[in-house]
Amino acid sequence: MSRSTPHISRPTLPRSADLLVVGSGIAGLSFALKAAREGRVLVITKKSRADSSTNWARGGIAAGLGPDDDPTLHLKDTLATGGGLSRPDRVEMVAREGPDRVRELIDWGVRFHREGGRLSLGREGGHSRRRIVRAGDRTGREIERALLAAVAASPEIEVVQHLMAVDLLVEEGACVGVTALDPGDGEPVELRAPVTLLATGGAGQVYRHTTNPTVATGDGVAMAFRAGAPVANMEFVQFHPTALYPTRDPAFLITEALRGEGAVLRRLDGAPLMEGVHARGSLAARDVVARTIHTELARSGQSHVLLDVSAIPEDQFAVRFPGALEGCRAQGVDPYEEGIPVVPAAHYFCGGVVTDEWGRTRIPGLFAAGEVACTGVHGANRLASNSLLEAVVFSHRAVLALQRARDEGGQPRQGWPESQVEATLRLAQARLAGSGTSAPSEGLDALRLRLRDLMWASVGIVREGSGLETALEEIEEMLAAAGDGRTVEAVELRNLLEVSRLVVASALHRRESRGLHYRSDHPEPDDAHFLSDTVLTRG
């Protein structure tokens, strides 16, 4: 697994800005476009500007825009999916503000598909209405294209590629920027700003099979946790039910919108997989579908199940799902001959850095938006296509918080009483071997693969206590062996290990099954003890 880093000379690398954005997906770029009215914005990204999970999003963005839909129905569907942990006030806010944020994306040049002059709305699992605004099955790519074009046209925004944030700069309790690793010389550089937005995405790369790109290594969560910000609900990892089998690295995602158009999940013998499991059949929420597939594969010994797309006319398939068709053909699969072979793969982290309704973290000057954040919207299970929506709503609200602080003549404040972020768990700081640029005894790539295999086997769709305990011990050993080298690969590995540690500790603590978190030794929900977030702080 070679990930060579280019040598880039940056004699004019900016060392300060009015606002610093870490990450170049939908959350970071939409924030930058609006924040540019408040001052100079510096966006840094550790790879190229288009390398983000947004670019890989296939389904679309959910919003109550249909003639038979409204924010109240969207609210109900989201709460029904969230396993009792979604915050109704935050969900209502996102559902209510979502349509305006989608219209802003259109104003920025996003070309969503239309039929008869109206937006073409799809349906996905857990939704009671057609409300998925889409650009075929390459919605994320289209959003990224438009936002990057808009950013390039703004003289107040500078984007620096191949510059990895390593740690937050915290002085007198406030975030004042980041230290970053320039691959040109391997030395840390300080980038200072009175306001920093973390928009670094998720951590799907902690798992052996994932739909996430290689950049999804949990950097923002790890940095924020090291700096003292609370993180929450890291045990709730969403596994997308339909990744193309056999999986590559990353796995090719077969969009859920196919099931919204009539595709049906079947066993290899042709029997409907979801019949009798859930009233919505193949359009049940992702936690139910992924766990059903997992159970079926364990029972049958088969390697995959099939997605039967025969209910979708072939000409319609080619027009609406060109990405799925291209991906299938690339692996020699004819969707209409025997169906599409699919398996679950790690897809999305519902947990992250705790924020208030304005995207503010507990550390003054530090905001978070997108998959890196835990806003209270997703709870124990994310409703399909709410991720892009949550990202644009909270990045917008972060800018509103800045504007309000400017009008009041001060800096953005933390936005909640301390009681709301009392630690359920305190974890000691991760142990690292050696100092300076020590190298691990085991190669970086070998350690990374070992971790991903461990997480897939022991902390996947189904978990149990003894396996989690063993996994935590092994992760601690890997942390001690990882070293502290100054390369992108070394920093990514440490972040992956630290995020995995948070996931396992949270899963051990939650001795019940809820939403995306299923423990075979505690298979039922326990509202008396666990109807609350799992919040972690550094001890």
Of these residues, 286, 291, 360, 514, which one is catalytic?
286
What is the spatial distance between Cα 198 and Cα 391, in angstroms, rounded to a whole number? 11
Distance CA 398, CA 150 (A): 19
Give the separation between CA 427 and CA 476, rounded to whole angstroms. 12
**Residue 432 DSSP class:** -
Helix or strand holding residue 142 (H, E):
helix 139-152
228: burial class by Cβ within 10 Å (0-12, 13-18, 19+)? middle
Give SS3 for 88: helix
C-alpha atoms less than 13 angstroms from C-alpha of 497 in its C-beta half-sphere:
28
What is the C-alpha separation between 335 and 82, in angstroms, rounded? 32
Taking the C-alpha atoms of residue 29 and residue 23, their distance in angstroms, rounded to an integer, is: 8
Q: Is 286 a known active-site residue?
A: yes
φ/ψ of 353, rounded to 5, equals -75, 125
Give the Cα separation of 89 and 413 in Å (integer): 20
DSSP three-state, residue 20 = strand
Neighbours of 256 (CB within 10 A): 28
Question: Which residues are CB-neighbours of 408 under 8 A, at least 6 positions away?
Answer: none
Give 55's contacts (C-beta < 8 A, 6+ positions apart): 25, 140, 141, 144, 213
Residue 158 tokens, joined: 């500078």
Residues forming beta bridges with residue 19, ordered by sequence position: 41, 195
Where would I find the H helices in 301-385?
314-320, 322-330
Three-state DSSP at 524 gives coil
| CA dihedral sign, ordered 413, 178, 46, 201 | negative
Residue numbers annotated as active site: 286
